[in-house]
Amino acid sequence: MSDASINTQAKATHGDAEFGDYFALLKPRVMSLVVFTAAVGLLAAPGSVHPFVAFCAILFIAVGGGASGALNMWYDADIDRVMARTKKRPIPAGTVSEGEAFAIGIALSGFSVVMLGLAANWVAAALLAFTIFFYVVIYTMWLKRWTPQNIVIGGAAGAFPPMIGWAVVTGGISIESVLMFTLTFMWTPPHFWALCLFMKSDYKDAGVPMLHVTHGRRVTRNHILVYTLLLAVVAIGMAFTGVGGPIYLTTALILNGLFVAGAISIWRRDEEVSEADGYKREKAFFALSLLYLFLHFGAILAEATLAPYGYGGW
């Protein structure tokens, strides 16, 4: 056995966590999406705040998102130990205890909400508090293990950051911030269901009632197509609001054309064909979904950034 293997086993046995283990509790990849969409919401909002206030606000929103991740890992430790995709997370790996994850999640939740309220305003702080509550209690503790519509309703948790960023500047909610929320909300199901199609039996083994487990893969393919079509309507419609413009419209038309074509391709395929080529098109659709949200919010950011110079907008 190699020295690296011995060290890994020793760390797992004795729970000697390193900084990276605690950081992994915060789900940094998810946190990066939270930071980006919140920043776009903040920068696209009418008006402005001091750059230091903006920096602090994004930082505390990120901490709140990380707190949600830690509490999610605390509660889902039993599931994470079963699923191949999550076995290496800090709690299943034995480097961080469930008690530590809970304490970190609770402490960071309170810290992020209070500090955002003090740094920006209490509307933004209230939205952040509700986001944490929704993700941990409504989604993780209730919906995830109860209904195959878990990812549909639970997707709202990941859709709030641009609304929070918007509220940091405006102190309120508007049609534009609601539409940014809706864009992320409608994107989540096809994005996640595409992943489920080639995740094999992970969720079934863990007893999580995902749509493909409870209703089959054909129904899941049907749902991906329906939600993608609805998403395209929302995404393109946003071009004609205060956060849209020619740059965004061009981006939305191209991306949604590709996304709808990908969803139709997935819908037409059966399991035998998909298994034969290793779910090639499903994986391509999932990869496109990662770019989809980033480029839409990137286009919103471009409109907001170029507006003072007379570019973009209507």
Name the token pair of 287. 């990869």
Which of 153, 147, 148 shows the shortest CA–CA distance to 135? 153
Output the pLDDT for position 9: 41
Output the pLDDT for position 119: 96
List the Cα angle 178/180/185 in 5-degree steps: 90
List the Cα angle 297/178/41 in 5-degree steps: 40
* Ordered per-residue pLDDT tens for the chain, 314 residues: 444 333 444 344 445 678 888 999 999 988 999 999 999 999 999 999 999 999 999 999 999 999 999 999 999 999 999 888 888 899 999 999 999 999 999 999 999 999 999 999 999 999 999 999 999 999 999 988 888 888 888 888 899 999 999 999 999 999 999 999 999 999 999 999 999 888 767 777 778 888 888 888 899 999 999 999 999 999 999 999 999 999 999 999 999 999 999 999 999 998 889 988 989 999 999 999 999 999 999 999 999 999 888 776 77
CB 76 within 8 A of CB 8: no
Output the pLDDT for position 16: 67
Output the pLDDT for position 12: 43
- Mind spelling out the 3-state secondary structure of 234-299? HHHHHHHCCCCCHHHHHHHHHHHHHHHHHHHHHHHCCHHHHHHCCCHHHHHHHHHHHHHHHHHHHH
Output the pLDDT for position 107: 98
* 22 burial level (CB within 10 Å; 0-12, 13-18, 19+): middle
Distance CA 251, CA 236 (A): 9
* Distance spanning both ends of the chain, measured CA to CA: 65
From residue 171, alpha-carbon distances to 47, 120, 164, 166, 180 in Å are 11, 8, 9, 8, 16
CB 108 within 8 A of CB 67: yes
Helix or strand run (H / E) with residue 116: helix 98-119
Per-position DSSP letters for 162-212, written without gaps between them: HHHHHHHHHSS--HHHHHHHHHHHHHHHHHHHHHHHTSTTHHHHHT---HH
Distance CA 209, CA 32 (A): 27
Output the pLDDT for position 312: 64
Distance CA 186, CA 183 (A): 5
